[in-house]
Every structure is written in C-alpha cells, then in structure tokens.
A and B are shown apart, each in its own frame.
With several copies, the nearest count.
Chain A
Amino acid sequence: QETRTIAVSVPAATHGWTGGVVYHAQKAAEEIQAAFPNIEVIVKTSPSAAAQVSALEDLTAAGNLDALVILPFSSDELTGPVQSVADAGTFITVVDRGLTDPEIQDLYVAGDNIAVGSTTAKFLVDNLGGKGDVVVLRGIPTVIDDERIQGFQEGLEGSDIKILDIQYANWNSDEAFSLMQDYLAKYPHIDAVWANDDDMLLGVLEAIEQSGRTEIKYALGGNGMKEIIEKVMAGDPMTPIETPYPPSMIKTAIYMTAAQFNGQAPVRGTVKLDAPLITKDNAEEYYFPDSPF
C-alpha cells in the first residue's frame, strides 16, 4: 500500500491555547499513525509567520506531500505560500484562520473568533441589565486578538455598557495579574472584566480575590481552558459561562483530512465551529480532563 504523508503546520506552543493545539495535533498524529500504518503525519511548529513560511518550504522541498493541515499564523502573510503548496497538487486543510483567498483551500475547519467576543458581550448585556462598566484585557497584537475585540465591541453596540479600558496583557497570566491590579487601582467601580483568553483570566481572578473588591459581578474569559470549565461546572458566580474555542479543532481537521487516504471520499468545504455559550448545563461536553489546556 502506498504511503501517504500529511504535514501539520501550527504555531509553536507559546501560551496555553497554542499549547493545546500542539497537544491535540500530536495526539491525532499518534492515533492516526497507530491506526493506519500507511499514513504518516508530521507535525511541525513555528514561532512566527516567517518561520511558518519557511517550514512550508521545507516540508514541500522533498515533493512528496499529499496533504497539508495548516493553522496559519496570520491570513495575509500565509496566503501566498499556501497557494504555492496547493499548486503542487497537495490537499489543503486550513484551520481556524481563513486565508485571504478561500479558493486555495480544499477543507476549512473554522473557529469563529468574532463569535467568541460577541457571545461574551451578549451575555454581559443580558446579565448586567444593559448597562455597566467593563474592563478588557487583550492578548498579543494579532488577527485573532483583533477579531475577538471587534466581536466584543460589536456585541455591546446598542447597550449602555461602557468599556472603561482595553490594554494588552500578551495572553500571559502574570501580565494579566498586574494589569488587573492596576485596573482595580484606577477604577473604583467595575462591573465586569473580560479577558479574551483564559490564561489571562487566571491572573485576573487572583488579582480580584486579593483586592477583596465585591462589586465585580463577572470575570469572563474565552477558549475553553479546562480550569475555567471546571469553574463553570461548579457554578462559580463570577465565571458562570465560557466560550469555547477548542484547540481540539486541529484534531478534527487532521482526522477529516486523513479520512480520504483511508478509502473514504475526500471531504471538501467548510466546517464551522461556532462559539456557543458554555453554561453549567452543557459544560460537561467541553470538558477534557486529559488535555493540558
């Protein structure tokens, strides 16, 4: 039987969520290779867009690539290079961030960053009674971060909820802790906090606990980190909800890509993962105790 090679290119594990992506990608690779000896899955991580482009060149240099599963660092920068890979006849699966030219991809497993922001915003609008003061922590200046913030702002439109402040905390719990301390010092009254990633939420929660401030009703995150899901399941009043953005989407994508080499017809098109509200009721579905994220 002919050997098939699937390359998986993802960002390096620089923080919790990308760590989760790498974890799930490697898990999928192991499982598929164990189940189907004729399929080889190579997972490669890259710390920057430029490095990811390099990795694509390296992976295709040998010329025996059958499929590529890629979670692009950013859309604009990776479009051209992925196009070159596609031109060689490789099956292309794009995960999470779409390319600027959707014609290139065969399969698109999409997360919805805008929905992560807007779902959270809608929750706040509903539960704060349409008005209140919130502070926001954002990550590293990239497309994901930008989309989430954009979604959040759109979600608040029409309500009287005011964003007091938005600052970068680089998706880092420590920086989020510091930033939250400073927010607390700066604003005597805060109704809710939104950290656009769960890593940061951990820091935020510690800072709130330390301050002893009681007026803060909600501290919300996003991404579906298991520690936060646990809180939701436990009915934590401050973090009653969560928006998933499961790093396991990479696993889904790899499986769907591999399926065609296993006798099944290739799946093409778009698989959209929405970002539903996780509440106490459905939290169980989103809880993966074995995942590092």
Chain B
Amino acid sequence: MSDIAATPSREPLLQRINWVDIGPFIALAILVMVGVLINPDFLAPTNITNVVTRSAFIAIIAVGATFVISSGGLDLSVGSMTAFVTGIMIMFMNAMVPSMGGNAIIAGMALVLCVGALCGLFNGLIVTVGKIEPFIVTLGTMGIFRALITFMSDGGNIPLDRSLREPFRPVYYGTFVGIPIPILVSIAVALVGAFILYKTKFGRRCAAVGANEEVARFSGISVGRIRTIAFVIQGICVAIAAICYVPRLGAATPTTGQLWELQVITAVVIGGTALRGGKGRIWGTVAGAVILEMIANLMVLSNFISEYLVAAVQGVIIIIAMLVQRFSKQP
C-alpha cells in the first residue's frame, strides 16, 4: 500500500493548480478584457494606476476581514471604524502640531494603530466573552463608531491642519520607484497577512477555529483568544487604511467609509474565502478588492448605462464574477 504513497511532483500540472485560488484572477482577467472592449482608455496607465490605488483601502481592510471571516467571525463595523479612527487621528495630529510640528504625523500614525487595535479588541471581546453573534455585535459597534465620528465632527467634517497637508500628502499621492504608495502599502499588508495566515501558528489556529470550533478546542486552541486576535488584526488593518486615507482628502466626515463593510466582505468572498469560515485566501481578497473598484470604473467609462442603472449592472457583474469563479473551479 504505502508504495502508492504520493509523489506529488508527478501529478500533471493542470491538476496541481488550485482552481479555487486562481478563480478570482480569472474573473479579473476577463473583466480587464471586457474593459478594453468597452473603452480603450481603460488600459491607459493613469486609469489603471488610479483604479488600483483606489482599491487599496478596501484591499487593506479586506486583508484583515479575511482573518476575521476565516476564523468564523464577521465584522460589519469596519466602515464606521475607519471614519472613527480617522477622526481621532486627525484631531490628535491637529492638537500636536503646535508642539511637535511635522512629527505630529508620525505620532498620529502610531496612535491610530493603537486605537484601531483597541477598537478591534472591543469588537472581539464582546463577541467572545459575551458569546454574541459577530453580525449583531459589529452591527451595534457600526452604529457606535458612526455616531462617535458624527458627534466628534458635530455632523460636519474634521479637516487636517493645513500645515500637515503637504508633508502628509505623499502617503496617498506619492510614488516609490514609480508605484503609488498605497499600492505598495497594500501589497505589504497582503504579504504580511499571507505570512501570518499561512506561515505562522496563529494563522493555522485561525483557520482551524473557523473550520471546526470543537476540533480546535479539543486541540488545545483557545478559541476565544484566536477570534479576538483576528478582530484586533482587523482593527490594525483599518488603522493602516485610515493612514493612507487621510492624505487623500485631508478630512474625516460622517460619510467616510460608508458602506465599506459591504465592499470589504464582497471582496473577501469574491476572493474565494467562504463566509462560513475555514480557509482564508489573502491574495484572492486583494484581487476581489481590485475587481470591485474596476467594475465601478467601468461603469463610468462605459457610455451606454443610464446613471440610474449603474448599481444594477454592478450587481449583475458581481454575480457573474462569482459564476465565472464557480465554473473555473470545475475544469
């Protein structure tokens, strides 16, 4: 018997490709082709760069969501959490300018990472200690964060101090070796995320908790702790996204991050991570985020869709993208 034991190197290449993993990329490729047909300008370097840069926020947050979802959770609060931590960061930076000058930016970044982690911790603890469905908990905290930013801004907006705009600006608009910073940041976040999820003990445990909580418990894994840490990671990712976000418009408003939670979850699911937990797919998630932004871009670039129907066409395309994936899985 044991002589039949695997020699994976001899399996044909086609069978070794993991179709679930590349499904989102196939969908992305098809979308690009459709895009070019619709409007040749689609492939113009500026357009592509803009689109990918824009997708960075969702991509970064969605990397965190991949942890939460693969550990069997769900976080609906990410959008309003972004607004909230952005507000905190700006207010702190503005307050620090007189004493710290440009260093206020660094201090603000450090602070927002802590605040983000704390927000995640808050979500995580309510879910795990209170044993309440993550959907409800984060729906609740979604309202809480949104209300706090509205309160902090008196319903208006919280602008970044003028003196900080210029030095902070490159974090969104700058490039490094020709690549926009947000793209680099999201690649870095995805790399770190992939490393943690696939190459560390925590990542393993995270997937185990999502796949079967009982098995995880019987294997000596502290289910609550792992779930909580996943939420903390989500919070940190939100903070990173907030850091890239502020220099773009230089303000936090009550509408910042509105409905991002749905986009984030969609990106994760399009990327091939199952909502019921288990295996998370970081790179698929990133592809999912780009797909979403690209669909929105195509809606504007195409000429034949009534403005009223944009949302309908987007909905149809998302469903089709999922179908493409589904069927590319069964070669």
Contacts and interface: CB of A to CB of B under 8 A. Distances in A.
Is B truly associated with A?
A: yes
Given A54-B54, A179-B300, A186 B39 contact: yes
Chain B's interface size range is 35 or more
Contacts of A149: 155
A43 B310 CA distance: 12
A58 B46 CA distance: 9
Interface string A163-186: 001111011111001110111011
A125 B254 CA distance: 31
Interface string B27-41: 000000000000101
A185 B47 contact: yes
B155 A292 contact: yes
Contact of A293 (B47, B156, B293, B296): B156
A21 to B, nearest CB: 8
A202 B160 CA distance: 13
Interface string B232-261: 000000000000010011110111101100
A224 to B, nearest CB: 12
Contacts of B255: 14-16, 48-49, 73-74, 140-142, 170-174, 199
A8 to B, nearest CB: 10
Q: Is the interface of A mostly helix, strand, loop or mixed?
A: helix
Nearest to B162: A100
Q: Is the interface of B mostly helix, strand, loop or mixed?
A: helix
A186 B300 contact: yes
Contacts of A177: 248-249
A73 B258 CA distance: 13
Nearest to B156: A292
Given A13-B254, A19-B254, A59-B300, A185 B155 contact: no
Given A19-B155, A74-B157, A173 B249 contact: yes
Contact of B307 (A142, A167, A182): A167
Nearest to A188: B41
A165 to B, nearest CB: 8
B10 to A, nearest CB: 48
Given A16-B253, A19-B254, A146 B154 contact: yes
Given A13-B150, A48-B258, A54 B307 contact: no
Contacts of B303: 42
A23 interface: yes
B256 A45 contact: no
Contacts of B253: 15-16, 19, 49, 74, 76-77, 141-142, 173, 199
B307 A186 contact: no
Given A22-B155, A76-B159, A14 B254 contact: yes
Contacts of A244: none
B165 interface: yes
A236 B249 CA distance: 18
A141 B250 contact: no
A177 B253 CA distance: 14
A61 B156 contact: no
Given A77-B249, A142-B254, A182-B297, A13 B307 contact: yes
A182 B299 CA distance: 9
Interface string A189-233: 000000000010011001000110000000000000001000000
A47 B249 CA distance: 15
Which of A141, A149, A167, A203 has the most C-beta atoms of chain B within 10 angstroms of its own C-beta? A141
Contacts of A44: 300, 307
A251 B299 CA distance: 23
Given A141-B150, A182-B300, A61 B44 contact: yes
B47 A80 contact: no
Interface in B296-329: 296-297, 299-301, 303, 307-308, 310
B297 A16 contact: no
Interface string B154-196: 1111010000010000000100000000000000000000000
A73 B255 CA distance: 10
A22 B300 contact: no
B153 interface: yes
Nearest to A101: B162
Given A179-B300, A182-B301, A292-B155, 7 more contacts: A19-B155, A77-B250, A142-B155, A142-B156, A210-B173, A227-B159, A292-B157
19 contacts: A13-B307, A19-B156, A19-B157, A19-B253, A45-B310, A48-B259, A49-B256, A51-B296, A53-B248, A54-B293, A58-B50, A80-B248, A80-B250, A167-B310, A182-B296, A186-B41, A210-B173, A292-B154, A292-B157
State the 3 A-B residue pairs at the shortest beta-carbon distance, nearest first.
A292-B156, A19-B155, A13-B155
Interface of B: 39, 41, 44, 46-47, 50, 54, 57, 150, 153-157, 159, 165, 173, 245, 248-251, 253-256, 258-259, 293, 296-297, 299-301, 303, 307-308, 310
